[in-house]
Structure formats: structure tokens, C-alpha cells
Amino acid sequence: MEPLHWWGSIALTALEGLATAAFAISGIIEATRKRMDVVGVGVVAFLTAFGGGTLRDLLLDQRPFFWVREQYALGGVFILCLIAVVFMRQRHIAITERMIEWPDAIGLGLFCASGVHQAHLLGMPPLVSLIMGVVTAVFGGVLRDMVCNEIPATLRNHRPYAICALAGALAYLLLAALDAPAWLAVGACAVLATSLRAFAILRNWSLPVWRL
């Protein structure tokens, strides 16, 4: 698979921007649900939005980090925090745990596609690319839950989460092995991971639970 052309690079940047926004919103909702102040909301939003991508860049030895290269993301998350907090206070919206799941599902698919694609472009072995896709998709949510004093949802609610990212990353690698266009592999990964997570939420799918 050849690297994306200039328009593809713009599309990939937009992909990471959308993923960042989706995870930031999930962080804002969770922090608001925990009745944090504005500073707390901002910290949780930033950790959720940038945690997975930062760990990916660390593991792949990519410098500078993606949010340093694309500083619009920092400003965008900051503005998003202010708008969301003001909007939810004015509308007196009842914040529920269920609300987090939908932006989180979108961010899962988008960041999975971004992570596996970047690792693949760097010539990483398929297994490493697979892990990078899952790590990028999952780690932001893990940080969010830890800071909010929760066991990470990916480990406790028994619904497929990391497995959805794994399926999306596998789809990417399969299409890459078949020499499919980069945009098709990236899109298939994002759509499959997000769709599987959405079905898991709607159908209440669950993984086997360890029983004593």
C-alpha cells in the first residue's frame, strides 16, 4: 500500500481531528457527571482526547507528538470544553453514563484507523500495527476512567470494546495485504470498529464473565 497523497494526508489529519473531538466530548461528559469544576473537565477532556495518540507516538518514536504537530487540536479541545460546559449548564441536561458511549464509540473507530495506518506506513510488522491501532483507540478512555476514579469501562462492563478495535485493525491489515487503496482500508477500519461497538451497545452484547 502506498502512502496517502497530499489530499489523503489532509483527510488523515481530519480523521484525527474528529477522533480527538469525539473522545474529548466523552471526557467532558464523564467529568461533568462526576461534578468536577471547569479545570477538572478540561484535564479529563485533554487526557481522553490525547492519551491514546500520545502513547502511540511514544511507542513508535514519533516526534513531535501529533497534538504538537497539529496545534489546532489543542485549541479545538479547549473551545469545546468551554462550549460544552456552558451549554450543559444552561440547558440543565441530565448527564448519564449512557451518554458517554456514543462519542466514545465514534472515537474508538477513528483513532483505531489512525493508529493502525500510521504504524503500517512506518513499515511496522502486522502484529505491531494491530497493537498500535488498539492502543490508540483504547488508552484515552482508560485514562479518562482512571482519573475519574473508575475501573476502566473497557475492563468492567463486559461489552466488546477493545475487540471492536481489534476487528477494525484486522480489516485494515487484510485490505492492505490485498493492496487496496489507503482510503478504503482506513475507512473500512473506522466504520467496522465503530459499527461493532454501536451494535454491542444497542444489542447489549457481552463477553464471557469469569465465574468462580
- Domain parsing of the chain, residue ranges: 6-203
pLDDT digits (tens, 9 = 90+) for 26-81: 888 888 888 888 888 889 999 998 988 899 989 988 888 877 877 777 888 888 88
Q: Nearest Cα to 195, choosing from 165, 153, 157?
A: 165
Q: What are phi and psi of 34, to 5 degrees?
A: -85, 5
| DSSP state, residue 90 | H
pLDDT higher than threshold 90 for residue 171: yes
* CB atoms closer than 10 angstroms to residue 21: 20
Alpha carbons 31 and 24: distance in angstroms, whole number: 10
Q: Is 204 exposed, middle or buried (0-12, 13-18, 19+ CB in 10 A)?
A: exposed
Task: Name the residue with higher pLDDT: 148 or 98.
Answer: 148
The set of residues, in sequence order, having a beta carbon less than 8 Å from that of 19 and lying 6+ positions away, is: 106, 107, 110, 111, 114
Question: Alpha-carbon dihedral of residues 115, 121, 124, 125, nearest 10 degrees?
Answer: 90
Instruction: For 30-64, give the DSSP string.
Output: HHHHTT--HHHHHHHHHHHHHHHHHHHHHHTT-SS
Q: Nearest Cα to 102, choosing from 207, 194, 204?
A: 194
pTM listed for this prediction: 0.83
